[in-house]
Structure 1
Amino acid sequence: MRPKIKPRRRGLRITVWSLVTVLVMTVGLTGVVLWQNSYDIDEQRVTIRHGGHTLHGVLALPRDGRKRHGLVVYVHGDGPTDATHDGGYQPMWEANAKAGYASLSWDKPGVGGAPGNWLEQSMDDRAEEAAAAIAWARARTDIDGDRIGLWGASQAGWVLPKIAAKTPVRFVIAVSPAINWLRQGRYNLLAQLRADGATAARTRAEITRSDTVRRLLKHRASFDEYVRTMGGDADGMTPGRWGFISRNYTADATEDLRALRGIPVLLALAGHDINVDTADTERVYRETLDPGRALTVKRYPDAAHSLVKQSIERSDLATTMTALFSPRSLFADGYLDEQRRFLSGLDHGAHARD
């Protein structure tokens, strides 16, 4: 006759097996996260000298055995962005690598210990910075200087054509680029108010506030004058941010875009963009660049401004979990493949010569 297990021993066994199960699940989930966040690229930390400063960058190289590669130079949008955009660039770098292209990006000045302050830059300053990075890349033996192009998102729309006017580029990938700073700001304000379900009274008040800010900018008001005019309420504005806006609010890419004529351009636009008026962007790009027939426009109906799926972006939890367990799935369906195909189609002959 089989002896009965004492309740105490049975409870101990349950506890032990519960701990083992949790441990196995933890190890398994950790393995999935590590696997999903491993990319088929070799990343190198690099330093680039520019204007007496050092840019802290990352060069992501394909693992394809070729001695030389084309290069995609990344131009950030707004905000304090590091070289990898907190890892958000890496799925794109992997897509570039599949097409035989390396990727280069760097911390904005003042980010991650880099010298300087990005809020003190103009769009021309940013273009000079990128041109210096391209010159650095052209001096490398593992980069094909004739196959260097640009990728830029949002605010980079004012920087990309300025770079092309300073140094030859082979192609441009423009993601949700804005055309005119003031038009973009007004569009964003109204789109956000609609998304918030704002009342007519609140909408009128916000437009009045926006008009006041525009007048202050036009008259080159100081930050202190801005705060006084707003009744002492800075509403999150800082002296540095006010200086950045004052320096750049007249930005307009319309005329600068002529520098991209004849250059292959992939224009990627989101279907749920409350930051940039994509219809206005597409109209200006087509009017300016179509004479050269080098413009490709791709729309992603399920995407938000950053080309992350809108269904994911509107939930912080969904964004975090997807970034951990399936980071390539963050982006709109087809976007990574389209970027790879665009690069692959540029010059098959150049690949064959490597």
Structure 2
Amino acid sequence: MRRFVPFILLLAVLGAGCAAPSFPDLPGTISGAWSGRVMEPGSPREVEVTFTPDGGGSLVVPAEGPDATPVQDVGVRDGVVTFTVPDLPGDVRFEGALGAGSIDGTWTRAGEELPLVLEPGSLRPGPDRPQEPRPPFPYRVEEVGFDSGDIAVGGALTVPDGDGPFPAVVLISDRGTRDRDATQSTHRTFRVLADALTRAGYAVLRTDGRGVGGTGGFVEDTGYPQLAGDVAAGAEFLRARPEIDGGRIGLLGHGEGGYLAPLAAPDAGAAFAILLASPAMDGAAATELEARERPAASEASLGEVEESRTLRRRHLELIRTGDDDGIRALWRAWFEKQRAAGPGEQLEDPAELAERFVPGPYRRSYLLHDPAPSLRALDVPVLAVYGGRDPQVPAARNEPLMRDLLSANPVATVRTFPGLNHLMQPAGTGDPDEYTRIPTTIDPEVLDAVADWLDEYVGS
């Protein structure tokens, strides 16, 4: 019997990009640890579920022992999260609504439906993170909020001690649904970055992404013009504060944030831009490159890998031409072929599956975005940094392109740090699977380089 092309190979078709996939039909939207209490009468039971970007996961119920049980059938569609736990007795399943920082749902076991609200975080002690900032801080930390269009944006502002006015940096996170700390694989990247820059004399604004924490909306329904507008609104919020120097507000984007920073720069009145691990090619090309750079699933045959690549290329071609009906036809035919080759009862309706591959505003914006015009238009100091072991935004391909796009800017600096991954951590292979195991959140050399560059071109 013919084997199915492994799901991990198809993730790239939907847009792997700068980080774990984060589109409505992919578990990458919720990847990481979530915990809560199943509200059993008289004895609430703690549970922890960890989702992985490849569609899998695991569940720990401490009252039933320390071992993890596999989670299957993980899905995120139209804001609804579902999964099953087939190895637990009682046909365990979950369905809940993904909201601002929680998944509010129902845990079903042996036919009994019980409330369960999952929130980000683990029940167990996390790994050591030596760079994690801990109070007391030599600066002020303030919970802030402002409006961007018709949504409220929440975040945190750190300001050096003193009267100012201080230069300021607006942080823009990588792809998908991110909190203000850009938390990924138990690393709170933006919290560490904000701490380092504020200690160096710069105010730093970091905000929750749409649909997370204190920010409204839903990122998957949002195109790049609106997301760039959120960045510009953050800069305007800073400009109205007396302790901020309105003429020295700049943008720092990581990954996809490096797409949004140049787009937002004119409306934000940006005085400088810093791009960390940001693609210098369009989103579709970046997706295709990442899929080639990252190793294929070990269980896949060469034929399956090639089939996946052919599907991906055709899918991206149809997105570029705006042929949504062609996308539906492509994937319906593929899923019908899979159902005919194997146990059809294990597949949903091919037409419904195919519909999930039609990109929404956010995914379409990413895949079709060409950063060249906005990068060439930057006439302020720019620093672009890459990691030499980053398979998601490979330096060998992106650094030369970035140098070319910024060649007319006399105050542009482009450099690569050998041995660092996409998060700017010292890495072995650079694969995202390593992120959690690496104690360092951001290599101190990168933090120093960013602060030194700011001192030279902006001044604290």
Provide the TM-score with structure 2 as the length reference.
0.61
Distance 1:234 1:243 in 2: 19
Q: Please, which runs of 5 or more residues in structure 1 have no aligned partner?
A: 1-28, 323-328
| Partner-residue secondary structure (3-state), 2:408 | helix
CA separation of 1:46 and 1:213: change in aligned 2, threshold 3 A: same
CA separation of 1:192 and 1:295: change in aligned 2, threshold 3 A: same
Partner of 1:283: 400
Match of 1:57 among 143, 149, 155: 155
The answer to whether the aligner puts 1:130 opposite 2:248 as a matched pair is: no
Partner of 1:332: 443
Q: Show the 5 A alignment for 1:293-332.
A: 293-311=410-428, 314-315=433-434, 318-319=437-438, 322=439, 329-332=440-443
Distance 1:75 1:192 in 2: 25
Partner of 1:258: 376
1:170-213 CA-partner distances (Å, limit 9, x unpaired)? 11110111121111011011111369696532331121110231
1:78, CA displacement in angstroms?
A: 0.4
Max Rg structure: 1
Structure 1 contact 95–339 (Cα < 8 Å) conserved: no
Supply the AA of the counterpart residue of 2:384: L
1:89, CA displacement in angstroms?
A: 1.0
Q: Show the 5 A alignment for 1:89-108.
A: 89-108=190-209
Distance 2:257 2:129 in 1: 31
Match of 1:114 among 183, 197, 215: 215
Question: Stretches of 4+ moved more than 6 A in 1?
Answer: 32-35, 233-237
RMSD: 3.0
1:347, CA displacement in angstroms?
A: 3.9
Q: Show the 5 A alignment for 1:234-249.
A: 238=356, 242-249=360-367
Partner of 1:24: none
- Aligned sequence identity (%): 22
1:241-300 CA-partner distances (Å, limit 9, x unpaired)? 655323442100011212213x11111101111112323322232223233321112212
Structure 1 contact 75–105 (Cα < 8 Å) conserved: yes
Partner of 2:288: 186
Q: Show the 5 A alignment for 1:182-221.
A: 182-193=284-295, 199-217=301-319, 218-221=321-324
| Partner-residue secondary structure (3-state), 1:169 | coil
Distance 2:131 2:259 in 1: 37
1:203-247 CA-partner distances (Å, limit 9, x unpaired)? 311211102312442343168656524413988995796553234
Distance 2:416 2:351 in 1: 39
Structure 1 contact 99–341 (Cα < 8 Å) conserved: no
Structure 1 contact 303–331 (Cα < 8 Å) conserved: no
Distance 1:340 1:113 in 2: 29
Partner of 2:133: 37
CA separation of 1:195 and 1:156: change in aligned 2, threshold 3 A: farther
Structure 1 contact 184–277 (Cα < 8 Å) conserved: no
Structure holding more helix per residue: 1
| Partner-residue secondary structure (3-state), 2:198 | helix
Supply the AA of the counterpart residue of 1:72: V
Q: Please, which runs of 5 or more residues in structure 2 have no aligned partner?
A: 1-124, 336-349
CA separation of 1:304 and 1:237: change in aligned 2, threshold 3 A: farther
CA separation of 1:304 and 1:129: change in aligned 2, threshold 3 A: same
**Comparing both chains, which one has the higher relative contact order based on Cα–Cα distances under 8 Å and sequence gaps of 6 or more?**
1
